[in-house]
Structure 1
């Protein structure tokens, strides 16, 4: 997952989330959790003054997401995690929660929040045509520089990521919303995801490659962060 500026922000409460098309830590935890225990129905509860949708699942760690334009909180927690422990985790993340809620409100006022739920066929078609035209120019250029080429590039509307790369298949997915943003931001995502054809994570090697490919990539990243998806 391209983890920058994505609405439905996901923040692991007691582990580090690495975005990407590859399985998330929550998905991996669910797969590795003891079998025979099923998830419980979602509950809306109040935790530390917040209205929270609480999902009890057979996972090992707790995860917090900020979802939708109103910044609603959703927590996935282990089946037997005590309520007091969940409350303590939310309390520790209060500054993070308030920061993202403030960003949501600011972006709504400035018209930078993008609702991906109700796109017409015409709007989708227009975005695809823009991306097709951009990729026709950008993909050959960056294939020569990066030294790898995706096996396929697919478009889809996504509410929580700008792009993704499945390394073992070489398939890259781009958010259709990019067709409505500046071309240099589309280029940023293309380079980011193509870099994942070499590097799976976002560590030192990934950052060094991005810096070599796009010296202004962090400035572009900050501009992309101004747009919130939901």
Structure 2
């Protein structure tokens, strides 16, 4: 695992953007999966003007790697795609035919669909303070799982997790979500994970210096042959 320690959040975002742009360039189709959440906002702010209306990026196809439905609103995007559309797909004017949505209606075919599309070339990931990546929270999926459905009874705090994801509105809280599993992510050709701030210092230390355990799901990714961890100084403060 390559570890890059940057001066601050802005530099972390810049370096991650450079990696992402590098993965997007190519003569043939490029399949990219990107993350929602707060950490990559700086990446998308930098990326949007670089890709908007650029014909030389028309070969890039995008995939979300997890999704949480809004209960009672299953005919619209879920949490992940709503955020990605607001932060990147919309502002960058990405064509609908280049966006391949994972949701609760097609998750069982996700891995086969990606295989038929030629596999994923690159994924930009965040990491939770608890060591989760995508929707692979501790005590939910197993290392050998492909794309899976995770129900609210998976762990004692799952109800609170789902409620938080839909903005604390109880009426919109679903009782499940779907996610690409650890085995699915490990099949991607290149992984880039980003982390920022003191709240991520403990998990960054575990990733760099700890052991691989299902109790800290993201530790599995450190065994990938092409993974880069990009962090700012605060996130690296315990190394």
TM over 0.5: no
Structure with larger Rg: 1
Q: TM-score, normalised by structure 2?
A: 0.23
* Bigger RCO of structures 1 and 2 (CA < 8 A, at least 6 apart): 2
Q: TM-score, normalised by structure 1?
A: 0.23
Relative to total residues, which structure has the larger helix share, 1 or 2?
1
